[in-house]
């Protein structure tokens, strides 16, 4: 008698080896070692099955089994070939062929072969199928189990109506296939450069150009910063730049003080540790300023974080989606909204803004968009544990109202046992997948088959536009298949045809992530195989054109992969937005591109999914068009709309609010640069000078804040010539302590730093 492990959703950390020889077209898919070690005493109605995964398109040829007769007499029994149910079990309602008759001689141990060639079963690459036995009687022969470590989630069985994983070994069952239409690795659309790029791990990723050299760098797990070397490789500079986020597991980039350098908020999902606000000092060093800027963190485990200017004061704020109590599963914790006060400190506005008006839920992710185009940023929170999702509708007057039900995106309420259940939503992201000029939404839901009657599957919500901006789920019609463990999502136009494609990760060992190409007619086709994208046990994912060749590249974990896009002949443009009246990162601003009879929409995101982040630089595929007819920038928060015409393709542009569209470093050279400042003496007693050098004349003012974030001194705005300058700050009325100085050009922060007064 062998034992089984109940097939719950916990990940079994056992390596899954599905590789057979792919050099020959005739291949045996095999996970067992051939040694008979035992079997399960199954009864009528029970099922034993093995999940197979062909690496290429294939024809099924034969099945080979090692079986045990429990009667000692000859018997016939039925074998089945089933499709995958999207989880770790077969879909017994979807046989790929009529039941097959197998024969047992009555021997205690024997091999049997079943020919499948006349059935003509053809399967796409990377498509799971099951070979199984559904018992009609209590004494039918059963599969032998080998004595090796089990290949994770390959051998499963149903006993008494409950599915289990065969935890003591693998069923001795093999399938011969004939591969055909094989695409060699060097002909795939993406090249896996994981081993050569200098990155080797990660589960969550945030792309951002922290040193302003024009190449996207990447923060891994909110803890490790990898600098883009510009040659297709990355270097770990974590300790060099002064980062120490040992307990962080994700986070997002954003320039919270508008000084021209991306700062980072690291989220922590661990008890006794807090989220961290890292200020980028000069593109080379970071400082933990969490305590200096109003302590924008809480004591709860954080899963989702997002930057966005929610009150349109030109400084990005923080939304923090917290998960469940670490000591008690399914007990939710509150979310927080932290408002940024002119780049000087953050205040907790959770209550005053209405975020606390809803019951706490188990937040896993957060994203945002001005989906109703009313001029302010709305927030979508992905909640887990069968909770409804939130759509925090920004009223524009400082109040948020949960309008998810009204707009059709809270999930589908299902009444069961006296309670309403929704879904296990993890990652979500807004994007205009149908090019109709508004933001649609994909929600990745983990939905176990055994709970599918009261658990939401993933949703592709199509925005119906004006006047109500209601959403409808079109996932099934769009051809996006159900998978049990959808986790994170990332939109991109990876083939530069002008339509946004979709990458969805699937967590748990044995579950593969999926890349879908947008067909341009409202439907999608999975293209993981020709693309060469194969990720097992995926979690966070994000896109960036990290090598500046005009084609978006993909990073995905927890089984880490960095895929370099080999590109094609299609054209493109990329645009980096830089705010002046709006926040410096231009987070929340969006761009329309009109080209070749198409209209495309993109926005600058302050995060998405489950604390992951695509590049802040916007990318547009143009197909065969070599010129953009028009580019229309909506600077969210300023009501400014800027239009540019007849723009050449295949160029990376920088658009600076109210100043123009620039295509080279030389064109940007005349623009004011961030100030490099020094304070002397520091610490000071009688007074201190703030020294700086200007490349060109400009008017500046200074504000001084104490450790509580209170403004205690100002130096009025005045004109400063080019060259070296200094500003005197007296000690009148100042007590001993640390102060923050902020140098401004109007609303824009040019520089900031600390000064210490000692009496």
Q: Name residue, tokens 């494609």.
A: 501
Give dist(CA 269, CA 300) in Å, integer: 8
Specify whether 618 is located in the same domain as 711: no
> What does the DSSP assignment read for 631-659?
EEEEETTTTEEEEEEEEESSEEEEEETTT
Residues 6+ apart with CB under 8 A from 181: 56, 57
Q: Name residue, tokens 């054109």.
A: 545
The three-state secondary structure class of 226 is strand
Instruction: Give the residue among 463, 455, 342 at the shortest CA–CA distance from 744.
Output: 342
638 φ/ψ sector (left φ>0, alpha ψ -120 to 50, else beta): alpha
The three-state secondary structure class of 220 is strand
Core vs surface per residue 402-414: b (16+ CB within 10 A) or e: bbbeebbbbbbee
Give dist(CA 481, CA 531) in Å, integer: 18
Residues 6+ apart with CB under 8 A from 475: 457, 458, 459, 460
pLDDT of amino acid 24: 54
Residues 6+ apart with CB under 8 A from 83: 90, 91, 94, 95, 96, 128, 129, 130
Torsion angle (degrees, nearest 10) of CA 501, 506, 510, 515: 0
Specify whether 411 is located in the same domain as 490: yes
Tell me, yes or no, whether 695 lies in a domain. yes
Give dist(CA 746, CA 612) in Å, integer: 33
The three-state secondary structure class of 622 is strand
Specify whether 703 is located in the same domain as 644: no
Residues 6+ apart with CB under 8 A from 751: 259, 674, 675, 676, 677, 692, 742, 743
Query: What CATH number is given to the structural domain containing 40?
Result: 2.60.120
∠ Cα 24 26 32 (to 5°): 105
Residues for the chain: how many in total? 759
Single out the residue in 137, 159, 179 at which a domain terminates: 179
Instruction: Give the residue among 488, 713, 689 at the shortest CA–CA distance from 608.
Output: 488
Specify whether 48 is located in the same domain as 163: yes
Residue 169 and residue 146 in contact, taking contact as beta carbons nearer than 8 Å: yes
Tell me, yes or no, whether 235 lies in a domain. no
> What does the DSSP assignment read for 301-322?
PEEEEEEE-TT-SSS-EEEEEE
Instruction: Give the residue among 748, 140, 749, 732 at the shortest CA–CA distance from 740.
Output: 749
Specify whether 282 is located in the same domain as 356: yes
The three-state secondary structure class of 475 is helix
Query: What CATH number is given to the structural domain containing 561?
Result: 2.120.10
The three-state secondary structure class of 205 is strand
Specify whether 550 is located in the same domain as 638: no
DSSP E strands, 356-485 = 362-369, 378-384, 390-394, 400-402, 414-416, 419-421, 424-431, 440-446, 459-463, 471-473
Number of helices and strands (H, E) in the chain? 4, 60
pLDDT of amino acid 355: 95
Specify whether 352 is located in the same domain as 443: yes
Task: Report the domain count for the chain.
Answer: 4
Residues 6+ apart with CB under 8 A from 231: none
Give dist(CA 95, CA 214) in Å, integer: 53
How would you write 653-712 as a 3-class SS string? EEEECCCEEECCHHHHCCCCCCCCEEEECCCECCEEEEEEEECCCEEEEEEEECCCCCEE
Specify whether 432 is located in the same domain as 547: yes
Tell me, yes or no, whether 417 lies in a domain. yes
Tell me, yes or no, whether 249 lies in a domain. no
Tell me, yes or no, whether 245 lies in a domain. no
Tell me, yes or no, whether 239 lies in a domain. no
DSSP state of 481: P
Give dist(CA 566, CA 585) in Å, integer: 29
Residue 311 and residue 295 in contact, taking contact as beta carbons nearer than 8 Å: no
Tell me, yes or no, whether 418 lies in a domain. yes
Instruction: Give the residue among 406, 444, 410 at the shortest CA–CA distance from 424.
Output: 444
Specify whether 84 is located in the same domain as 125: yes
Specify whether 504 is located in the same domain as 634: no
pLDDT of amino acid 9: 32
Give dist(CA 307, CA 318) in Å, integer: 5
Specify whether 601 is located in the same domain as 708: no
Token pair of 567 as six digits: 């590109």
Single out the residue in 144, 179, 214 at which a domain terminates: 179
pLDDT of amino acid 453: 85
Specify whether 564 is located in the same domain as 655: no
Residue 536 and residue 510 in contact, taking contact as beta carbons nearer than 8 Å: yes
Tell me, yes or no, whether 644 lies in a domain. yes
User: Which residues of the chain have a pLDDT value below 70?
Assistant: 1-24, 664-676, 709, 747-750
> What is the distance between the terminal CA atoms of the chain, rounded to a whole angstrom?
82
Instruction: For residue 499, give Cα distances in angstroms to 90, 592, 634.
Output: 34, 13, 21
Q: Are strands 459-463 and 440-446 parallel, antiparallel or unpaired?
A: antiparallel
Instruction: Give bridge partners of residue 112 from the DSSP assignment.
Output: 65
Domain that includes residue 384, residue range: 270-571
Single out the residue in 156, 179, 202 at which a domain terminates: 179
């Amino acid at each position: 008698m062998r034992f089984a492990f109940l097939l719950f959703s916990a990940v079994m950390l056992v390596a899954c080896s599905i590789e057979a020889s792919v050099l020959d077209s005739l291949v045996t898919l095999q996970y067992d070692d051939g040694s008979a070690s035992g079997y399960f005493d199954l009864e009528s109605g029970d099922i034993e099955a093995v999940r197979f995964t062909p690496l290429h398109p294939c024809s099924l040829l034969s099945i080979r089994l090692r079986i045990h007769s429990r009667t000692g007499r000859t018997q016939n029994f039925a074998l089945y070939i089933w499709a995958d149910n999207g989880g770790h079990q077969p879909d017994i309602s979807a046989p790929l062929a009529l039941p097959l008759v197998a024969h047992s001689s009555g021997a205690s141990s024997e091999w049997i072969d079943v020919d499948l060639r006349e059935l003509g079963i053809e399967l796409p690459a990377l498509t799971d199928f099951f070979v199984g036995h559904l018992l009609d009687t209590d004494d039918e022969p059963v599969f032998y189990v080998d004595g090796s470590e089990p290949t994770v989630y390959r051998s499963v069985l149903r006993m008494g109506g409950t599915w289990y994983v065969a935890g003591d070994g693998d069923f001795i069952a093999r399938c011969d296939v004939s591969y055909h239409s094989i695409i060699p690795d060097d002909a795939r659309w993406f090249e896996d450069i994981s081993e050569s790029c200098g990155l080797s791990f990660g589960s969550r990723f945030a792309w951002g150009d922290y040193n302003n050299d024009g190449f996207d760098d990447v923060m891994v797990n909110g803890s490790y910063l990898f600098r883009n070397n510009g040659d297709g490789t990355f270097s770990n500079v974590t300790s060099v730049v002064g980062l120490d986020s040992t307990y962080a597991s994700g986070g997002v980039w954003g320039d919270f003080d508008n000084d021209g350098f991306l700062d980072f908020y690291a989220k922590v999902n661990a008890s006794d540790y807090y989220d961290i606000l890292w200020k980028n000092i000069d593109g080379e060093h970071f400082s933990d300023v969490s305590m200096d800027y109003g302590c924008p963190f809480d004591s709860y485990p954080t899963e989702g974080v997002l930057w966005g200017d929610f009150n349109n004061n030109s400084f990005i704020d923080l939304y923090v989606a917290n998960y469940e109590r670490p000591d008690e599963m399914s007990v939710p914790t509150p979310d927080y909204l932290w408002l940024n006060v002119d780049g000087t400190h953050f205040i907790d506005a959770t209550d005053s803004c209405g975020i606390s008006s809803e019951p706490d839920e188990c937040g896993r992710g957060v994203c945002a968009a001005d989906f109703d185009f009313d001029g302010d940023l709305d927030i979508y929170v992905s909640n887990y544990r069968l909770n409804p999702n939130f759509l925090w509708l920004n009223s524009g007057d400082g109040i948020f109202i949960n309008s998810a039900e009204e707009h059709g995106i809270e999930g589908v309420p299902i009444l069961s046992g006296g309670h309403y259940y929704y879904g296990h939503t993890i990652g979500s992201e807004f994007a205009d997948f149908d090019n109709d000029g508004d933001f649609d939404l994909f929600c990745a839901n983990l939905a176990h088959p055994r709970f599918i009657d009261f658990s939401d599957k993933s949703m592709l919500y199509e925005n119906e536009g004006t006047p109500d901006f209601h959403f409808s789920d079109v996932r099934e019609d769009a051809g996006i298949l159900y998978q049990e463990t959808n986790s994170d999502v990332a939109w991109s136009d990876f083939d530069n045809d002008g339509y946004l494609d979709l990458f969805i990760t699937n967590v748990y060992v044995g579950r593969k992530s999926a890349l879908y190409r947008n067909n341009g007619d409202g439907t999608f086709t999975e293209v993981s195989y020709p693309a060469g994208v194969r990720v097992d046990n995926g979690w966070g994912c994000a896109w960036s054109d990290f090598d500046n060749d005009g084609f978006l590249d993909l990073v995905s974990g927890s089984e880490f992969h960095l895929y370099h896009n080999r590109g094609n002949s299609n054209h493109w443009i990329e645009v980096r937005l830089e705010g002046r009246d709006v926040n410096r990162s231009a987070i929340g601003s969006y761009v329309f591109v009109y080209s070749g009879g198409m209209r495309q929409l993109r926005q600058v995101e302050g995060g998405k999914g489950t604390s992951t982040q695509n590049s802040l630089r916007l990318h547009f595929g143009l197909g065969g068009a070599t010129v953009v007819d028009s580019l229309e920038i909506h600077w969210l928060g300023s009501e400014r709309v800027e239009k540019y015409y007849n723009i050449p393709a295949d160029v990376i542009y920088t658009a600076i609010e109210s100043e123009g569209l620039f295509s080279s470093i030389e064109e940007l050279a005349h623009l004011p640069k961030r100030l490099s400042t020094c304070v002397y003496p520091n610490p000071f007693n009688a007074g201190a000078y703030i020294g700086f050098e200007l490349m060109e004349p400009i008017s500046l003012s200074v504000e001084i804040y104490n450790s509580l974030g209170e403004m205690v001194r100002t130096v009025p705005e005045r004109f400063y010539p080019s060259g070296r300058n200094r500003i005197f700050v007296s000690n009148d009325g100042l007590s001993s302590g640390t102060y923050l100085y902020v140098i401004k050009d109007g609303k824009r922060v040019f520089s900031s730093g600390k000064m210490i007064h000692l009496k």
